Amino acid sequence: MSAVELRARPSTRFFRSELWLIFGRRRNWVGMAVLAAVPVLLIIAVKVSPPGGGGGPDFVNQITQNGVFAALAALTLELPLFLPVAVASISADSIAGEANLGTLRYLLAVPVDRVRLLVVKFAAIAVFALAATLLVAGVGALLGLAVFGGGPLVTLSGTTLPFWAGVGRLVLVCGYLTVCLTAMGAIGMFVSTLTEQPIGATIATLVLTVGSEILDAIPQLAVIHRYLPTHYWLAYTDLLRDPVSYDQVVPGLWSATAYILIFGAAAWARFAGRDVTS
Amino acid sequence: MTDLAVVSTGLTKRFRSGQVAVNTVDLAVPYGSVYGFLGPNGSGKTTTIRLLLGLVRPTAGTHRLLGSAMPGAAARVLPRVGALVEGPAFHPYLSGLDNLRRLDAADRTVEPRSAGARIDAALDRVGLLAARRKRYRHYSLGMRQRLAIAAALLRPRDLLILDEPTNGLDPQGTREVRSLLSALSATGTTVVLSTHLLSEVEQICSHVGVMHLGRLVAQGPLAELRARTAPSVEVRSADAAGAARVLTELGLTEVVTVGETATGVLGGVVPEKVVAALVHADVPVRGFQVRSADLEEMFVQLTGEGFDVSG
C-alpha cells in the first residue's frame, strides 16, 4: 500500500484534450467547411453578378465597395440556422456523446469530478462558438478584401468609418454573437445531460432555438419576446451604427448571461447526482 | 478494518423501476488478495462495481476503498484504483494511443511529463504497442479489451476492479491477462475480478464472493469455501452396480452409476476404507479417484442453480 498522498494539480490538459476532441474530429471539419463555404459562395456570386443596388440585404450591396462587408453578410445569412446547428451539435454531444460511447463512466472513474467535467465541456463549447463565428467572419473578410479590396465602412447610420475602425466593429460583432451562441450552447449542454442520444439532444436544442426564433416573429406574443433566448441576437447590427447603440446589446448580454447561469445550474442539478448506467 | 482494501456494509441499490439490483451486500476484500467476484449474468455484479466506483449512488449502505470512505474520498482514492466496467468504451475515431492520452490528461494527479512513457508501458504490457496508432474503430474485440486493461494500468495502482477482463480474448490472450494479473498481484496490488468463468477463479483467485439475485451468498478464502463442500469418490469398474452397492453399504451418499462409473459423496468415510471394501467384495476396480468438489458444484450448491440468467 503506497501511503503517498495524491495531490490534484491545476492543469489545462483535460481542457486541451477536449478542444482536440472537438477540433480533431472529421465530422466537425465537415461542419466547419460548410460554415466557411457560405462566405465563399456569397463572394463568388457577388463577383459574377454584382448587385444593382436596392435588391438584396444591405450588407450584400456594400460588398463591392468594402470586402469586409462579406463577413457581415455571411454572419447574417448563417445566424438563423447554420451557426445554431453547429453549436447545437457540439453542445448536445458534450455529455450525451460520452454517455452514448460509454466513455463517460471511464472519465468519472479516472476520476473527473462531475462539476469539473461540466465546466470543461462548457468552456470548450464557448471556444467552439468563438471559432465558428471567427471562421465565418474571417473567411468572409479575408476573401472579400482579396476580391473587392478594402475601403471605408459605411455605418447603418449613414456615416463613414475609416477602414481599421470598421474592422474593429466587425470584431465587436463577432464577440457579441459568440456570447449569444454560447448561451445557446449552455441550453444544449443541459439537454445533453438528459439523454444518452446525442442526435436526439441536437434536435431538441435546435427545436428550442428555431422555436424561439419563430415565437419571436409572432407580434401577438410581444410580451414574452424579451425572454426568448434568440430575441437579442440581431442586436449585433446596433454595433454598426454611429455612434454605437447599446439599447439592445446590453440587455442581450444580460439575457445571454442569465441563460448561461440558469442552464449551467440546471445541467449541474441534473448531472451531479445522476446514476451513470451507460 | 484496515486490513481490507474493499469493504462495504449493507450496500443496496434499488433502481427507480423498483428492481433491487444489489441487496445488503457486505463485501470484504483483503489487501493483496485476488478476489473472484462470481455470479450468473444479472446477479448484480456490475451494479456492485458501479456502486464501488461511485458511478451509481447507493439506496442504502456505505463502502470504503483502500481505507477511505466513498464517495467522499473519490478524488483521493480513485486515482489509485484501476477499473474496467462493463466492457471497453473508447472514442472510435481516435487511435488506441490517443484514447489513452485523453484518459491520462483527465487525471490531475499524474505527472504530465511522464505521460508518454507510462502510456507506452501500459500498451506494451497488454501487447498493443504495435497497434497503438490504429483507430479504435478498427480494433478487434480482443484488442479493445486489451486497451481497456491498458487504461487500468496507466499508472501504478493499489487496487484493480476488473469486470470480466478476459471477455472476448482468444486463449492466448486469456493466458496473457491471467499471468499479468498474477504478476500484478505478486507486487501487492489487490485485484477484484468479476467473472463467470469458474476456471479463471480456480487458476488465479485466492478469495471468492458469490452473488445471487443481488445478494452476496458466500464469501471467503477459496480453500475455505471449498472445504465446505464434501469430496466424492469415483470408481470405474466393469461391475459398476456392485461398486455402487459397496459404496452405499459404507455409508456414502448420493451414490450414482453412469455406465462403468460409480460415484458417491464421501462424507466422513476415508478413501482407503473404500478401496479395501471394494477389493474385499471382489469388485473388479479399473480406476479409483477422490475428487474434491469442483467449483461448479460448489457454485450450484451455493446458488441452487447453474449459470442461468437471474431474473
Q: Per the CB < 8 Å rule, is A25 touching B93?
A: yes
> Smallest Cβ distance to B107: which of A21, A110, A276?
A110
Q: Are residues B147 and B218 in the same domain?
A: yes
Same domain flag for B141 and B214: yes
Whether B257 and B204 map to the same domain: the answer is: no
Beta-carbon separation of B79 and A108 below 8 A: no
Residues B164, B17 share a domain: yes
B205 and B239 together in one domain: no
Residue B178 domain-assigned (yes or no): yes
Cβ atoms B268, B248 nearer than 8 A: no
Domain with B85 in it? 4-227
B176 and B272 share one domain? no
**Domain stops at, among B227, B258, B277:** B227
Q: Are residues B32 and B166 in the same domain?
A: yes
Residue A10 forms part of a structural domain: no
Q: How far is B107 from chain A (nearest CA, A)?
A: 6
Has residue A179 been placed in a domain?
yes
Q: Do the domain assignments include residue A6?
A: no
Same domain as B188, residue B100: yes
The alpha carbon of residue A226 is apart from the nearest alpha carbon of chain B, in Å, by 39
Same domain, B54 and B152: yes
Range of the domain at A142: 25-271
Residue B251 inside a domain? The answer is: yes
Are residues B142 and B204 both part of a single domain? yes
pLDDT of residue A30: 97
Residue B305 within a domain: no
The chain B residue lying nearest A12, using CA atoms, is B105
- For residue B76, which residues of chain A lie inside 8 Å, CB to CB? 5-6
pLDDT per position in chain B (311 positions), as tens? 468 999 999 999 999 999 999 999 999 999 999 999 998 888 999 999 999 999 999 999 999 999 999 999 999 999 999 999 999 999 999 999 999 999 999 999 999 999 999 999 999 999 999 999 999 999 999 999 999 999 999 999 999 999 999 988 899 989 999 999 999 999 999 999 998 888 888 889 999 999 999 999 989 998 888 777 767 888 999 898 899 999 898 888 888 888 888 988 887 788 888 889 999 999 999 999 887 766 777 777 777 665 554 54
Q: What is the pLDDT of residues A92-151, one digit of tens each?
A: 999 999 999 999 999 999 999 999 999 999 999 999 999 999 999 999 999 999 999 988
Examine residue B296 and state whether it is found in any structural domain, yes or no: no
Please check whether residues B17 and B128 belong to one and the same domain: yes
Q: Of B31, B103, B137, which to mutate for an interface test with A (greatest number of A Cβ within 10 Å)? A: B103
Neighbours of B210 (CB within 10 A): 23
Q: Spell out which chain A residues touch chain B, with contact meaning CB-CB distance below 8 angstroms.
A: 1-2, 5-11, 13-14, 16-17, 21, 25-26, 101-103, 105-113, 273, 275-277
Domain termination residue (choose one: B171, B206, B227):
B227
The total of structural domains in chain B comes to: 2
The pLDDT, as a whole number, for residue A5 is 63
In a domain, B301, yes or no: no
Q: Would you call B75 and A113 a contact, using CB atoms and an 8 Å cutoff?
A: yes
> What is the number of domains present in chain A?
1
- Interhelix angle A82-101/A114-148, rounded to 10 degrees, is 150
How far apart are the C-alpha atoms of B137 and B129, rounded to whole Å? 17
Q: Are residues B36 and B97 in the same domain?
A: yes
Q: What does the pLDDT read at residue A53? A: 56
Is A277 a member of any domain?
no
